[in-house]
Amino acid sequence: MPRRFQFGLYELDTAARELRKNGNKVRLQEQPLQVLISLLERPQEVVTREELRQRLWPSDTFVDFDHSLNTTIAKLRDALDDTASNPRFIETLPKRGYRFVAPVSTDNPGIKAEATAAEPEPHLEHIPLPPRAITRALYGLLQVMYLIFYCVALWGLDDAGVRAEVTWHIAAPLIETAILITGVLGVPLRLYNLAATAFDYRLFGNKYRVLFPLLLVLDFIWALAPLLLVHKIGLGLAIAACAALFYSPFSQRMLVRMAWPVRALDG
Protein backbone atom coordinates (compact mmCIF):
# COMPACT_ATOMS: atom_id res chain seq x y z
CA MET A 1 0.00 0.00 0.00
CA PRO A 2 1.31 3.53 -0.75
CA ARG A 3 2.54 5.56 2.19
CA ARG A 4 1.10 8.87 0.95
CA PHE A 5 -2.00 9.89 -0.99
CA GLN A 6 -2.60 13.37 -2.42
CA PHE A 7 -6.00 14.66 -3.56
CA GLY A 8 -7.08 18.26 -3.96
CA LEU A 9 -5.63 20.31 -1.10
CA TYR A 10 -5.27 17.20 1.09
CA GLU A 11 -2.47 14.75 1.79
CA LEU A 12 -2.83 11.53 3.77
CA ASP A 13 0.20 9.91 5.40
CA THR A 14 -0.86 6.36 6.20
CA ALA A 15 2.28 5.61 8.21
CA ALA A 16 1.85 8.63 10.48
CA ARG A 17 -1.96 8.23 10.40
CA GLU A 18 -2.29 11.94 9.60
CA LEU A 19 -4.49 13.90 7.20
CA ARG A 20 -3.30 17.38 6.26
CA LYS A 21 -4.86 20.23 4.29
CA ASN A 22 -2.41 22.77 2.89
CA GLY A 23 0.10 21.39 5.40
CA ASN A 24 -2.23 21.88 8.37
CA LYS A 25 -3.28 18.78 10.31
CA VAL A 26 -6.95 17.85 10.10
CA ARG A 27 -8.45 16.00 13.06
CA LEU A 28 -9.74 12.61 11.97
CA GLN A 29 -10.70 9.67 14.17
CA GLU A 30 -9.45 6.16 13.44
CA GLN A 31 -12.59 4.73 11.84
CA PRO A 32 -13.11 7.60 9.36
CA LEU A 33 -9.39 7.35 8.62
CA GLN A 34 -9.74 3.64 7.85
CA VAL A 35 -12.65 4.37 5.50
CA LEU A 36 -10.64 7.06 3.73
CA ILE A 37 -7.71 4.69 3.23
CA SER A 38 -10.05 2.03 1.84
CA LEU A 39 -11.48 4.50 -0.68
CA LEU A 40 -8.09 5.92 -1.68
CA GLU A 41 -6.67 2.45 -2.28
CA ARG A 42 -9.31 1.96 -4.98
CA PRO A 43 -10.07 5.38 -6.54
CA GLN A 44 -13.01 5.48 -8.96
CA GLU A 45 -14.11 2.02 -7.77
CA VAL A 46 -17.07 1.09 -5.58
CA VAL A 47 -16.11 0.03 -2.06
CA THR A 48 -19.09 -1.84 -0.71
CA ARG A 49 -20.61 -1.32 2.71
CA GLU A 50 -19.86 -4.95 3.51
CA GLU A 51 -16.16 -4.45 2.70
CA LEU A 52 -16.07 -1.46 5.02
CA ARG A 53 -17.82 -3.43 7.75
CA GLN A 54 -15.20 -6.17 7.54
CA ARG A 55 -12.42 -3.60 7.75
CA LEU A 56 -13.86 -1.59 10.63
CA TRP A 57 -15.52 -4.23 12.81
CA PRO A 58 -14.47 -7.86 13.42
CA SER A 59 -17.10 -10.52 12.75
CA ASP A 60 -17.66 -11.09 16.48
CA THR A 61 -18.38 -7.40 17.15
CA PHE A 62 -21.99 -6.51 17.91
CA VAL A 63 -22.79 -3.04 16.57
CA ASP A 64 -25.59 -1.20 14.76
CA PHE A 65 -23.62 -1.39 11.54
CA ASP A 66 -25.77 0.86 9.32
CA HIS A 67 -25.97 3.69 11.84
CA SER A 68 -22.30 3.40 12.80
CA LEU A 69 -21.10 3.44 9.20
CA ASN A 70 -23.34 6.38 8.33
CA THR A 71 -21.90 8.27 11.30
CA THR A 72 -18.34 7.39 10.26
CA ILE A 73 -18.95 8.58 6.69
CA ALA A 74 -20.51 11.82 7.98
CA LYS A 75 -17.42 12.50 10.14
CA LEU A 76 -15.15 11.85 7.15
CA ARG A 77 -17.16 14.22 4.96
CA ASP A 78 -16.99 16.89 7.66
CA ALA A 79 -13.20 16.57 7.75
CA LEU A 80 -13.04 16.94 3.97
CA ASP A 81 -15.68 19.73 3.77
CA ASP A 82 -17.60 17.39 1.47
CA THR A 83 -21.33 16.71 1.09
CA ALA A 84 -23.41 13.73 0.04
CA SER A 85 -25.69 15.89 -2.12
CA ASN A 86 -22.84 17.52 -4.08
CA PRO A 87 -19.74 15.35 -3.57
CA ARG A 88 -16.27 16.51 -4.48
CA PHE A 89 -14.57 13.44 -3.00
CA ILE A 90 -16.92 10.71 -1.71
CA GLU A 91 -19.89 9.61 -3.78
CA THR A 92 -22.67 7.57 -2.18
CA LEU A 93 -24.12 4.68 -4.15
CA PRO A 94 -27.36 3.85 -2.29
CA LYS A 95 -27.54 0.32 -0.87
CA ARG A 96 -24.14 -0.49 -2.41
CA GLY A 97 -21.31 1.55 -0.97
CA TYR A 98 -19.07 4.53 -1.68
CA ARG A 99 -16.66 5.68 -4.36
CA PHE A 100 -13.79 8.18 -4.25
CA VAL A 101 -14.39 10.36 -7.32
CA ALA A 102 -11.59 12.97 -7.16
CA PRO A 103 -8.19 12.54 -8.85
CA VAL A 104 -5.66 10.81 -6.56
CA SER A 105 -1.87 10.66 -6.74
CA THR A 106 0.34 8.46 -4.58
CA ASP A 107 3.98 7.64 -3.94
CA ASN A 108 3.36 4.32 -5.72
CA PRO A 109 3.76 4.86 -9.51
CA GLY A 110 1.64 1.83 -10.40
CA ILE A 111 -1.37 2.97 -8.42
CA LYS A 112 -0.93 6.54 -9.59
CA ALA A 113 -1.15 5.49 -13.22
CA GLU A 114 -4.27 3.44 -12.53
CA ALA A 115 -5.98 6.30 -10.70
CA THR A 116 -5.05 8.85 -13.35
CA ALA A 117 -6.47 6.69 -16.12
CA ALA A 118 -9.80 6.56 -14.31
CA GLU A 119 -10.03 10.30 -13.59
CA PRO A 120 -13.30 11.93 -14.64
CA GLU A 121 -13.37 15.07 -16.71
CA PRO A 122 -12.35 18.06 -14.58
CA HIS A 123 -15.19 20.32 -13.53
CA LEU A 124 -15.77 23.26 -11.26
CA GLU A 125 -16.23 21.19 -8.11
CA HIS A 126 -12.54 20.17 -8.30
CA ILE A 127 -11.28 23.77 -8.28
CA PRO A 128 -9.50 24.34 -4.93
CA LEU A 129 -11.59 26.41 -2.54
CA PRO A 130 -10.18 29.34 -0.55
CA PRO A 131 -9.60 28.78 3.17
CA ARG A 132 -12.87 28.70 5.09
CA ALA A 133 -11.52 31.24 7.56
CA ILE A 134 -11.38 33.82 4.76
CA THR A 135 -14.85 33.12 3.38
CA ARG A 136 -16.33 33.12 6.89
CA ALA A 137 -14.61 36.42 7.71
CA LEU A 138 -15.83 38.08 4.50
CA TYR A 139 -19.38 36.88 5.09
CA GLY A 140 -19.28 38.07 8.70
CA LEU A 141 -18.04 41.51 7.61
CA LEU A 142 -20.93 41.82 5.16
CA GLN A 143 -23.38 41.09 7.97
CA VAL A 144 -21.77 43.79 10.10
CA MET A 145 -22.05 46.21 7.14
CA TYR A 146 -25.79 45.62 6.87
CA LEU A 147 -26.27 45.97 10.62
CA ILE A 148 -24.57 49.37 10.42
CA PHE A 149 -26.85 50.34 7.52
CA TYR A 150 -29.94 49.42 9.51
CA CYS A 151 -28.86 51.17 12.69
CA VAL A 152 -27.81 54.39 10.94
CA ALA A 153 -31.02 54.51 8.88
CA LEU A 154 -33.23 53.85 11.91
CA TRP A 155 -31.33 56.49 13.90
CA GLY A 156 -31.92 59.09 11.19
CA LEU A 157 -35.38 57.90 10.16
CA ASP A 158 -36.95 61.37 10.01
CA ASP A 159 -34.09 62.81 8.00
CA ALA A 160 -34.26 59.92 5.49
CA GLY A 161 -37.96 60.63 4.91
CA VAL A 162 -37.37 64.33 4.37
CA ARG A 163 -34.44 63.65 2.03
CA ALA A 164 -36.54 61.26 -0.10
CA GLU A 165 -39.32 63.83 -0.34
CA VAL A 166 -36.97 66.68 -1.30
CA THR A 167 -34.75 64.75 -3.73
CA TRP A 168 -37.13 62.23 -5.31
CA HIS A 169 -40.57 63.65 -4.47
CA ILE A 170 -41.57 60.45 -2.66
CA ALA A 171 -43.86 60.78 0.35
CA ALA A 172 -41.78 60.80 3.53
CA PRO A 173 -44.13 58.43 5.48
CA LEU A 174 -43.75 55.80 2.74
CA ILE A 175 -39.94 55.79 2.95
CA GLU A 176 -39.95 55.92 6.76
CA THR A 177 -42.34 52.94 6.93
CA ALA A 178 -40.20 50.94 4.49
CA ILE A 179 -37.03 51.63 6.48
CA LEU A 180 -38.74 50.81 9.77
CA ILE A 181 -40.22 47.47 8.61
CA THR A 182 -37.17 46.22 6.70
CA GLY A 183 -34.78 47.42 9.40
CA VAL A 184 -36.72 45.68 12.19
CA LEU A 185 -36.77 42.48 10.11
CA GLY A 186 -33.17 42.81 9.01
CA VAL A 187 -31.51 43.30 12.39
CA PRO A 188 -32.44 39.88 13.88
CA LEU A 189 -31.73 38.13 10.57
CA ARG A 190 -28.24 39.64 10.39
CA LEU A 191 -27.57 38.85 14.04
CA TYR A 192 -28.54 35.22 13.38
CA ASN A 193 -26.22 35.09 10.36
CA LEU A 194 -23.43 36.67 12.37
CA ALA A 195 -23.85 34.19 15.23
CA ALA A 196 -23.90 31.24 12.82
CA THR A 197 -20.69 32.55 11.26
CA ALA A 198 -18.96 33.20 14.57
CA PHE A 199 -19.78 29.75 15.95
CA ASP A 200 -19.30 28.03 12.57
CA TYR A 201 -22.72 26.35 12.60
CA ARG A 202 -22.16 23.32 10.38
CA LEU A 203 -25.72 23.21 9.01
CA PHE A 204 -25.81 26.92 8.21
CA GLY A 205 -25.71 26.16 4.48
CA ASN A 206 -28.99 24.26 4.81
CA LYS A 207 -30.62 27.05 6.84
CA TYR A 208 -29.38 29.72 4.45
CA ARG A 209 -31.22 28.11 1.54
CA VAL A 210 -34.45 28.75 3.44
CA LEU A 211 -33.51 32.32 4.43
CA PHE A 212 -32.11 33.41 1.06
CA PRO A 213 -35.41 34.49 -0.61
CA LEU A 214 -36.22 36.81 2.32
CA LEU A 215 -32.65 38.15 2.45
CA LEU A 216 -32.72 38.71 -1.31
CA VAL A 217 -35.84 40.90 -1.05
CA LEU A 218 -34.39 42.87 1.89
CA ASP A 219 -31.05 43.36 0.15
CA PHE A 220 -32.69 44.55 -3.07
CA ILE A 221 -34.72 47.12 -1.12
CA TRP A 222 -31.66 48.35 0.76
CA ALA A 223 -29.63 48.45 -2.45
CA LEU A 224 -31.60 51.63 -3.24
CA ALA A 225 -30.41 53.35 -0.03
CA PRO A 226 -27.48 55.23 -1.66
CA LEU A 227 -30.03 57.21 -3.71
CA LEU A 228 -30.93 58.97 -0.45
CA LEU A 229 -27.34 60.25 -0.28
CA VAL A 230 -27.24 61.89 -3.71
CA HIS A 231 -26.92 65.32 -2.08
CA LYS A 232 -23.67 64.19 -0.43
CA ILE A 233 -22.02 61.77 -2.86
CA GLY A 234 -23.52 62.72 -6.22
CA LEU A 235 -25.73 60.75 -8.59
CA GLY A 236 -22.94 58.82 -10.32
CA LEU A 237 -21.41 57.44 -7.13
CA ALA A 238 -24.86 56.69 -5.73
CA ILE A 239 -25.73 54.60 -8.81
CA ALA A 240 -22.40 52.77 -8.58
CA ALA A 241 -23.06 51.99 -4.91
CA CYS A 242 -26.54 50.71 -5.79
CA ALA A 243 -25.08 48.39 -8.42
CA ALA A 244 -22.61 46.96 -5.90
CA LEU A 245 -25.37 46.44 -3.34
CA PHE A 246 -27.61 44.71 -5.90
CA TYR A 247 -24.80 42.18 -6.41
CA SER A 248 -24.23 41.76 -2.67
CA PRO A 249 -26.86 39.02 -1.99
CA PHE A 250 -25.37 36.84 -4.72
CA SER A 251 -21.83 37.30 -3.40
CA GLN A 252 -23.09 36.38 0.07
CA ARG A 253 -24.72 33.23 -1.31
CA MET A 254 -21.45 32.30 -3.02
CA LEU A 255 -19.51 32.74 0.23
CA VAL A 256 -22.02 30.60 2.15
CA ARG A 257 -21.85 27.84 -0.46
CA MET A 258 -18.04 27.79 -0.21
CA ALA A 259 -17.87 27.88 3.59
CA TRP A 260 -20.94 25.79 4.46
CA PRO A 261 -21.86 23.36 1.66
CA VAL A 262 -25.38 21.96 1.93
CA ARG A 263 -25.16 18.74 3.96
CA ALA A 264 -27.26 15.64 3.70
CA LEU A 265 -28.75 14.72 7.07
CA ASP A 266 -28.01 11.01 6.63
CA GLY A 267 -25.08 8.93 5.38
Q: What is the pLDDT of residue 124?
A: 43
Shared domain check, 116 and 64: yes
DSSP alpha helix (H) spans, the chain: 30-41, 49-56, 65-80, 109-117, 132-155, 157-168, 172-198, 204-222, 230-233, 235-259
Is there a contact between 106 and 37 (Cβ–Cβ < 8 Å)? no
Q: What pTM does this model have? A: 0.58
Among candidate residues 93, 108, 126, the one where a domain is terminated:
126
Percent of the chain's residues with pLDDT above 90 = 66
Q: Residue 266 above 70 pLDDT?
A: no
Split at pLDDT 50, 70, 90, the class of 64 is: confident
Q: Give the domain extent around 38.
A: 4-126
pLDDT of 108 reads 66
120, 137: one domain: no
Residues 10 and 122 in one domain: yes
Q: How many CB atoms lie within 10 A of CB 69?
A: 21
Which pLDDT score is estimated for 84? 85
Q: Residue 39's pLDDT is what?
A: 95
Last residue of a domain, one of 103, 126, 149: 126
Answer whether 81's CB lies under 8 Å from 64's CB: no
pLDDT band at residue 189 using 50, 70 and 90 as cut-offs: very high
Inform me whether the pLDDT recorded for 86 exceeds 50: yes
- Check: CB of residue 38 under 8 Å from CB of residue 18: no
93-121 residue pLDDT tens: 988 999 999 999 987 655 543 444 444 44
Instruction: Give Cα separations from 72 to 25, 46, 230 (angstroms).
Output: 19, 17, 57
Burial of 256 (0-12, 13-18, 19+ CB in 10 A): buried
Q: In this model, does residue 258 exceed pLDDT 70?
A: yes
| CATH code assigned at 50 | 1.10.10.10
Asked, for residue 108, whether it belongs to a domain, the answer is yes
Answer yes or no: are the C-beta atoms of 245 and 223 closer than 8 Å: yes
In this prediction, residue 132 has a pLDDT band, given cuts at 50, 70 and 90, of confident
Predicted pLDDT of residue 53: 86
- 109 lies in some domain: yes
Number of domains in the chain: 2
Alpha-carbon distance of 28 to 202, in angstroms, equals 16
Q: Which of 13-27, 59-73, 201-215 has the lowest mean pLDDT?
A: 59-73
Q: Are residues 203 and 122 in the same domain?
A: no
| Residue 84 DSSP label | S
